[in-house]
């Protein structure tokens, strides 16, 4: 069993939270283009989270780049991971 560092206290997400990183067409092939979903398992530094993704890999991402799983992207740029018209 892997032991992860604690989540920073000011993080909006805690261990066990389901999160999503939206993907964008202009990014290189891989997780940043396709997006991913996963579960927060720990912290990383002062502003990043360690996430066990549904795709089977661990990701470390700054929490401002993450949304609650299923929440639509809030910018004007359409993401590649959510169905068009989904709420």
pLDDT surpassing 70 at residue 87: no
Provide the percentage of residues in the chain whose pLDDT is more than 70: 94
- Quote the pLDDT of residue 7: 95
Task: Give Cα 25 to chain centroid, integer Å.
Answer: 17
pLDDT surpassing 90 at residue 41: yes
Distances (CA, A) of 63 to 10, 11, 20, 83, 86: 10, 7, 10, 23, 23
**Domains along the chain?**
18-68 (2.30.30)
pTM: 0.85
Q: What is the mean pLDDT of residues 4-29?
A: 92
- Quote the pLDDT of residue 14: 96
Q: What is the mean pLDDT of residues 20-35?
A: 87
Q: What is the mean pLDDT of residues 14-33?
A: 90
């Amino acid at each position: 069993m892997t032991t992860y560092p604690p989540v920073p206290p000011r993080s909006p997400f805690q261990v066990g939270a389901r999160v999503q990183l939206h993907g964008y067409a202009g990014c290189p092939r891989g997780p940043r283009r396709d997006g991913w979903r996963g579960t927060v398992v720990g912290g990383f530094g002062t502003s990043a989270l360690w996430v066990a993704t549904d795709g089977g890999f661990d990701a470390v991402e700054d929490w401002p780049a993450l949304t609650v799983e299923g929440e639509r992207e809030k910018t004007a740029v359409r993401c590649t991971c959510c169905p068009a018209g989904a709420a």
